[in-house]
Amino acid sequence: MIELGAIPYGMKEVREAYGNPDMNNDGSVDLAWWERNMVRKVLPYAMRASWDLNIIASSQYIHRAVADAMIDALEEIADTVPPEFLQLCDCDILGGVYNLRTNRRSGTLSMHSFGIAIDLNPHLGPLGGPDNQPEFIKRAFTRRGFVTFDTDSMHFQAAQNV
pLDDT along the chain (162 residues), means of 10: 90 96 92 97 96 96 98 97 91 96 83 97 91 95 94 94 76
Q: Over the chain, what HEC string results?
A: CCCCCCCCEHHHHHHHHHCCCCCCCCCCCCHHHHHHHEEEEEEEEEEEECCEEEEEEEEEEEECCCHHHHHHHHHHHHHHCCHHHHHHCCCCEEEECCCCCECCCCCCECHHHHCCEEEECHHHCCCCCCCCCCHHHHHHHHCCCCEEECCEEEEEECCECC
pLDDT of amino acid 34: 97
* CATH of segment(s) 10-157: 3.30.1380
How would you classify the pairing of strands 93-96 and 147-149? unpaired
Q: How far is CA 49 from the centre of its chain?
A: 13
Q: How far is CA 9 from CA 50, 82, 94, 110, 159, in A?
A: 29, 35, 26, 14, 6
Answer left, alpha or beta for residue 39, where phi above 0 means left and psi between -120 and 50 means alpha.
Answer: beta
Number of Cβ within a 10 Å radius of residue 107? 7
| Pairing status of strand 147-149 against strand 117-120 | unpaired
| Distance in Å from the first CA to the final CA of the chain | 26
pLDDT at residue 103, rounded to an integer: 83
